[in-house]
Amino acid sequence: MKRLVMDTRGGQTLYFGARSSERFGRLYDKGIESKSHKAGLRWRWEVEAKETAARMFADGLKTTASPESYVQGVVAGFFWSRAGVRLAQLEPSGFHKTEHPEPSSARLLHWLASGVRPTVAKLTKVYGRERVLHALGIPLKSAVDGPEHTDEPNGG
């Protein structure tokens, strides 16, 4: 996800990812933000790391001989992988290519409620309940439809 924000003073900020994601980047006109340069002359490239990504980043910093080069490589790798932009004279590090951890049960439930449920509701209106359940691989006579159904987790 990318989003460009422009302000009335001529400054621009380009956001990469969602603020809630483990890796979030922004590229903005530092000259305008600090009132030190005209628009387009001084840019800041930033990457935020959270949770597992932050721990991996910290581990990399502990083991590198050159923390400055490591940080520059992480930033360069982030923008290279998301925008195809190579920062001059910086070699991307492999940090941005790490595997994403398995999401927590709470995060999966939130995804179901906020992302999947609205889509299922729309499809049910168009195609009907039976066809949507079939597409999801849920048998019509499932545990959810049975008399022992309760609103508590794990049937209890």
Domain ranges of the chain: 2-97, 105-155
For 1-24, the pLDDT digits (tens) are 777 788 777 788 888 888 888 888
Work out the pLDDT band at 125, boundaries 50, 70, 90: very high
Q: Which residues contact 2 (CB under 8 A, 6 or more apart)?
A: 14, 15, 16, 82, 83
Mean pLDDT to the nearest integer, 68-97: 71
Mean pLDDT to the nearest integer, 117-140: 86
Q: pLDDT value at position 7?
A: 78
Mean pLDDT, the chain, as a whole number? 78
Work out the pLDDT band at 72, boundaries 50, 70, 90: confident
